[in-house]
Structure 1
Amino acid sequence: MATRIEGMAVGVREHRLFTGMALLIAMTVIGGFGSFALRGMVDVAAVPWWVHVHGVTLIGWTLLFLAQTLLVAGGRVHGHRQLGWAAVGLACFMVPWGVATSILAVEMGRVPPFFTPGIFLLLGPLDMLTFALLAGAGVALRRRGDWHKRLMLCGTIALIEPAFGRLLPMPLLGAWAGACATLMQLFYIGIAACADRRANGVMHGAYGWAAAAMVVRLALVELLGRSAWAMGTAAALMAG
């Protein structure tokens, strides 16, 4: 009986953890994009339609992830599984669309001044790849609940770099702008990992894999983005 009660208490703490992280991510994404628009940092009417679609899919995934955590916390596991396949469909659309958005942005010269064209060309695609790897692993391990929910959480964190790009003072950070956004993502993973350890007494391996993926992504962006190939490809795209 004591073991069962202890297991139920751990389950409650885990539900609070994942629901809290989902809410934090939703506030970060909506707050980032919303505050950016409210501060007049972007002319919404002048933004190409394909950028709007990219933004809507990102917000849509964030809200879908929140809905999924609330379903599990409410004991509606069947609904969670059904909605999960809708999430898979959205991810299959979102990843190639995000890659295409980055390429089109470089082609049209829509590169933020704190990024070089070569780095910006690789940033979006590698963000999408990191998300796809973590979320894809989460789907593949859906029968192992402990790995599934943590990988899906970390995959979602991997997706929200653009939100941090709108919350942080990126122009003031210069060449460190991308690294600072990644540090914020690692900070969110750290929050989840520490809270998880308090709930379960151990650090789950999923967080280590996710953090390593983030670091590798940052290294690839910084190294390849400054390569002659990336700079040449970006220049060719911008030249039309």
Structure 2
Amino acid sequence: MAIAMALTIVAGFSLQAATGRSTFGAPPLVHLHAFIFFGWVVLFVSQNFLVTRGSIALHRRLGWVGAGWASAMVGVGIYTTVAMTRNATTPFFFLPAYFLVMNILSVLCFGSLVIVAISMRKRTEWHRRFMFCAMAILTGPAFGRLLPMPLLVPYAEWGVFAAVMMWPLIAIVADHRRRGYVHPALWWGTATIILMQISMTLMAHSVIGLKLYAVSTAGYRGAAIAPLAFPTPPSSPLITGR
């Protein structure tokens, strides 16, 4: 499953590059974001590989590297999202306010699940399932590049959510077939993802979400963009991070 998730992410962003919607000419912040997030993908697959090889000691040492790495992901992820919102370069198939809230809550939920997983590192069955659910959240942006998002407006975010939910559902079925019951960690992780999605929608349309958008874009181009109206599709490919 770790490999399947990694391949999904690689496929999504490779398609982005192949279609000209992503370029190495993107701002340095986008390159930093890509390096940190893809670095996590490599680390996640490596950690799973080490466990299958029985290299538990090295797995645990790298786990602390992962803890610091995940913290950097949360910070860089939020900063990059705010920068894109300020520059009015949010994807046109998302409401600008929703995009801002979506990405912030996504990385915060990812970070929270990683923290819980690390705190339960001595309870392997809980630890690995929480890490699995955290990784599932990170596949959202990849599905956002693989799915025909413009055709899904105004329900594009729900298309991504449905795709992300594929991972915990597969795990739930596998758990039930293997054990005869579903481990509680999977229920908690799945509930977190569902609650995250509901919170995104509610918050983006709330006073809090609109205030967050106003504060984030004050003095920038994004302030002139209606937070709850779909932007006009660009006449040329939208280069990520511009």
What TM-score do you get using the length of structure 1 for normalisation?
0.87
Asked whether the equivalents of residues 98 and 124 of structure 1 are also in contact (C-alpha less than 8 Å), the reply is yes
Q: 2:108 aligns with which of 125, 129, 132?
A: 129
How far has the Cα of 1:124 moved from its partner?
0.9
2:49 paired with 1:65: no
Q: Find the aligned partners of 1:76 and 1:142 in 2 and give their Cα distance.
A: 15
1:26-79 Cα distance to aligned partner (Å, 9 max, x none): 10111111111112222331x221122112212111111110011000111111
Query: For this pair of structures, how many residues does the alignment match?
Result: 219
2:76 paired with 1:97: yes
Q: Match of 2:223?
A: 239
Asked whether the equivalents of residues 117 and 235 of structure 1 are also in contact (C-alpha less than 8 Å), the reply is no
2:12 paired with 1:32: yes
Q: Match of 2:125?
A: 146
Q: Find the aligned partners of 2:181 and 2:60 in 1 and give their Cα distance.
A: 27
| SS of alignment partner, residue 92 of structure 2 | coil
Bigger helix share? 1
Q: Find the aligned partners of 1:48 and 1:32 in 2 and give their Cα distance.
A: 20
Asked whether the equivalents of residues 114 and 131 of structure 2 are also in contact (C-alpha less than 8 Å), the reply is yes
How far has the Cα of 1:127 moved from its partner?
0.3
Q: 1:214 aligns with which of 175, 193, 196?
A: 193
Q: Match of 1:225?
A: 204
2:34 paired with 1:50: no
Asked whether the equivalents of residues 129 and 189 of structure 2 are also in contact (C-alpha less than 8 Å), the reply is no
Q: Match of 1:6?
A: none
Q: Find the aligned partners of 2:211 and 2:30 in 1 and give their Cα distance.
A: 24
How far has the Cα of 1:168 moved from its partner?
0.9
How far has the Cα of 1:233 moved from its partner?
4.1
Which has the higher mean CA deviation after the structures are superposed, 68-77 or 228-237?
228-237
Q: Find the aligned partners of 1:56 and 1:139 in 2 and give their Cα distance.
A: 23
Ranked by relative contact order (alpha carbons within 8 Å, sequence separation 6 or more), the top structure is 2
2:180 paired with 1:196: no
How far has the Cα of 1:83 moved from its partner?
0.9
Q: Find the aligned partners of 1:40 and 1:85 in 2 and give their Cα distance.
A: 37
Q: Find the aligned partners of 1:39 and 1:182 in 2 and give their Cα distance.
A: 23
1:89-139 Cα distance to aligned partner (Å, 9 max, x none): 101111111111111110011110011111011111100111111111100
Q: Find the aligned partners of 1:235 and 1:87 in 2 and give their Cα distance.
A: 34
Q: Find the aligned partners of 1:90 and 1:156 in 2 and give their Cα distance.
A: 13
Q: Find the aligned partners of 1:78 and 1:43 in 2 and give their Cα distance.
A: 39
How far has the Cα of 1:24 moved from its partner?
0.5
Q: Match of 2:228?
A: none
Q: Match of 1:82?
A: 61
What TM-score do you get using the length of structure 2 for normalisation?
0.86
Q: Find the aligned partners of 1:135 and 1:128 in 2 and give their Cα distance.
A: 10
Which residue type is aligned with residue 171 of structure 1? P
Asked whether the equivalents of residues 99 and 125 of structure 1 are also in contact (C-alpha less than 8 Å), the reply is yes
1:149-168 Cα distance to aligned partner (Å, 9 max, x none): 11111111112211111111
Cα RMSD between the aligned structures?
1.5
Q: Find the aligned partners of 1:69 and 1:103 in 2 and give their Cα distance.
A: 32
Structure 2 unaligned blocks of 5 or more = 225-242
